[in-house]
Amino acid sequence: MTMLVVTTRGLVAEEWVEHIEQRDRLMVDADHLVNTAMDMELDVTPFRQYRQALRDIPQTFTNPEDVVWPQKPSLPQASA
């Protein structure tokens, strides 16, 4: 019989891996937002702040359960 022992530290590490993977996916989108805002000659500050907040998640939070994801800024709707 095989016994699997799961430690709290192991669970927290796995949660961090999942959070970092999610953060990385959001970073790809954030990079696209910054580039699009630049192409549209918009103020890129909120898009860069969002991207930086995503980057800072591992340093900002010590527990993955406490992570608060930053609010993604919106690009203006194109007029018809």
Q: Give per-residue pLDDT as tens, 11-44.
A: 668 899 999 999 999 999 999 999 999 999 999 9
Query: Does residue 70 fall inside a structural domain?
Result: no
Q: How many domains does the chain have?
A: 1
Any long-range contacts for 36-41 (C-beta under 8 Å, 24+ apart)?
36/75, 37/75, 40/75, 40/76
In terms of Cα–Cα distance, which of 67, 76, 77, 78 is closest to 26?
67
Query: Does residue 31 fall inside a structural domain?
Result: yes
- Domain of residue 34, residue span: 13-40
Query: Does residue 29 fall inside a structural domain?
Result: yes
Query: Does residue 17 fall inside a structural domain?
Result: yes
Query: Does residue 30 fall inside a structural domain?
Result: yes
Query: Does residue 28 fall inside a structural domain?
Result: yes
The pLDDT tens digits of the residues spanning 39-69 come to 999 999 999 999 999 999 999 999 999 999 9
Query: Does residue 66 fall inside a structural domain?
Result: no
Query: Does residue 55 fall inside a structural domain?
Result: no
